Amino acid sequence: MYSALSCQFGGELVAASGKEAEYAKRRRQALKRVDRELSRGNFKVALSLVKQLQRKPAGGLRGFGAAKQVPKRLSSLDESELDSKELLTLRALFDSVMESIERCNLFDSLDEAPSDTVESIVEDGSYVSLKEEDHFMCVQHEAGHFLTGYLLGVLPKGYEIPSVEALKQDDFTVGRVQFVGFDFLKEVADARKQKKDTGQVGSWGNRGEISVKTLNNFSCVILGGLVAEHLVFGHSEGHYSDINKLDKVFQWLGYNKSEADSQVKWAALNTVLISHHHIQVRSRLAEAMALGRSIGSCIHSIENALSGELI
């Protein structure tokens, strides 16, 4: 009887494995269509295809938009339902991320600071520019953006990872990930340019221009890189441009300091929890991005890594 049960169980495993392989094959083919549309600049079509795959039970995208998020009413980790051990780990991570954000805000204030203050901050060595040995960190950083967006249902449409050679030639070369649905950033940049060129505030104060969901997603995606650095290295190299960009969006929306601080705190908390639960997934994604794989291939790597995980 034992032998018969073993054979039956073994047969079921083979059948299950065969189905998973078939599902993966279907997903890979579908994601090639997504890549084609992205390459043609048909971003809305690509997003539509991804959403169709999202609804498929077999060979679909189980990770897209599936992240479990922190309710906005929670103001601290202590109010979550985490066990004491995980709570201790995440509290330390959250605190270090918030400290990095504060330091980034300090760096951003250099443009307004007197020259003697600028010199004292720079000489303190609080911020280190991106150098050639930081290539691995750059990959992890961009993978953090990519994965956070994907799990929140924001489709990446392109990315750049600078080569080691490029980093040797320019200490300040950085990577980037672009997403479908963040078109408002051009308006933010235009308003910023108008303010700089004319000294006029222009169209700042645009609260109704983007939805709360879009702002929430953007806030988390922008912090995804910084959180990834903390998870991998225990610190961040001070990529203040991300925080600077988020701050400019708050200004464009007309947020006061209290509103902006509240949004950042929630976004950091949400992103820390999402990233902490998918460390191995981000690692697999980073490998694909380091090799310059297509968006579809990167998504396929995410979905393969998610197999067997709880989202």
Concatenating the DSSP letter of every residue in 20-51 gives HHHHHHHHHHHHHHHHHHHHTT-HHHHHHHHH
Give the per-residue pLDDT at 116: 37
CA of residue 277 relative to chain centroid, distance: 14
Least confident of 28-32, 161-165, 239-243: 239-243
Residue of 24, 284, 301 lying closest to 139 (CA atoms): 284
Q: Which residues pair with 159 in a beta bridge?
A: 177
Pair 219, 152: CB distance under 8 Å: no
CA gap 47, 179 in Å, rounded: 10
CA gap 31, 50 in Å, rounded: 8
- pTM for this predicted structure: 0.82
Give the per-residue pLDDT at 14: 46
CA gap 221, 280 in Å, rounded: 18
CA gap 142, 289 in Å, rounded: 8
CA gap 218, 215 in Å, rounded: 5
What is the mean pLDDT of the segment spanning 63-91? 80
Q: pLDDT (tens digit, 9 = 90+) per residue, 104-143?
A: 776 555 444 333 332 323 333 333 344 556 788 899 999 9
Q: pLDDT (tens digit, 9 = 90+) per residue, 199-223?
A: 655 445 677 789 999 999 999 999 9
Residue of 136, 128, 140, 130 lying closest to 167 (CA atoms): 130
Residue appearing with tokens 């073994």: 10
Asked whether the predicted pLDDT for residue 26 surpasses 60, the reply is yes
CA dihedral 270, 272, 274, 276 (to 10 degrees): -160
Give the per-residue pLDDT at 121: 30
Q: Which CATH class is domain 80-108+129-294?
A: mainly alpha
Mean pLDDT of the chain, nearest integer: 81
Q: pLDDT (tens digit, 9 = 90+) per residue, 233-287?
A: 988 875 678 999 999 999 999 999 999 999 999 999 999 999 999 999 999 999 9
List the chain domain ranges.
80-108+129-294
